[in-house]
Structure 1
């Protein structure tokens, strides 16, 4: 009996040790870190709007120059609890002003804080992991030019077991993947593949469109077999639409319709953008027309959700 108890205790300790090791926060490799460079703030501004940084980190209802005051505080009410967007201003005490570029890149691509904690995936690093080293450097350079905002945001309000931040390391092992979601367009007919690849980068990477438009499984991971096929809203009520080229999605829209919608906020039926998409559309309107055209080209040449590959 004592031997059996000892064996069980050893097995339990081994399992606990393995779980602890597997849940450890990860960082970029030395090779990836060496590709980082001090960036170009002018291009970083475009990355900033593509990434929708102000939508979460500026004050609720902010307009104009206030969109560049990134003091955080937005409360995101989800099935897992309430997440609060942090201060990412240039403030050295309360924001990210004391971070290095490598600190920033580890947060963006690995969901790991400078002090070695796992970030919750309410911060969409599962998409940002696909961003290029150049864009990360450019975005960081732009953020450093923005106003310093005093004050730390409130803590997240999460119940057990979601308040066990270390467990997110195991979650990241399952869901943090750097490769593209869609490997190639479903049609090459008259398609500008360079434009399509730019659209893929924007949608799957900094634009993080899949974080809202793709359904999630029981653990909160994206169901990539239903990529962009619509999902229940993660915050608030209602649903987020299918934006694949199906009858229920963008099937009836051509690429020019999509690009114009992202620029103006008007649909082909002369309806106007609403809900949380208002912020996204306003951000996309600040990008070059070629980027909106690239997004449209990508969305028109991905698999309809009903025939999405496994």
Structure 2
């Protein structure tokens, strides 16, 4: 895309390559990756600016000001100029910084991902998942979350990863495991229910690729390992780089646990059939999201035998990037 900026000397043509993008991050991997996913899809030179407000300033986030030492004119400030064309932020500690940036650089298009928990944020665009109640004229709500699994990255990942994954016979099933959440434990009964389904309902010709998360409890891994003993499988053991993208790219079908909106969003970006396993307890806000997801072809709860096929991906990252592009056209 080419953007034209009117100046006193004429028209300055700005291409994606020329665009500068800041990602304001407090270091939380999940928030930062969502910002990077949007930034990468938008295209441009990306600069990750870390914010780390100390006490007492952090106590006032997201409502209070940035610390005096982080003002743009201070050495080492995360807001030091030159200011970007676009700034994307997520996380409670970044709200004040994005607000300040918009005050000192009104021409910067500012974007915040997820509910900022304050009405004082002057961002040009706020994205929230559809299960969030935050709404407004500058709010975009989508069914899935932004991520870094672009079509190009999935295509590249298809030939990467451990050789063991490629030696598994097709059809391959990716099993994406979550686990305990802040308010719900992935109990032993749910673990045994998932393991029993793998034993009883998984077609004998299917190979399994398993990627656990940091939240996956030991009893769940034990149950899954036991269930997969009779069939070809490969389980990431936590060493080296997680071949998550490769598993999703190679998968002819995907089983994902229902406890993470990010995981649900990742798998929906593929074109493989999706089977959602609901543990006994998981965030209630996701139940409505799953009810909407299963209205799409080849997306269903894990209840019967798996089938392979192809479906249209659901990818909100591109929707958010398109919204930003529209905002840039008006600047």
User: If the TM-score is normalised by the length of the shorter chain, which range does it land in?
Assistant: under 0.3
Query: TM-score, normalized by length of structure 2?
Result: 0.26
Query: TM-score, normalized by length of structure 1?
Result: 0.28
Greater helix proportion: 1
Greater strand proportion: 2
Higher CA-based Rg: 2
Larger RCO of the pair (alpha carbons < 8 Å, separation 6+): 1
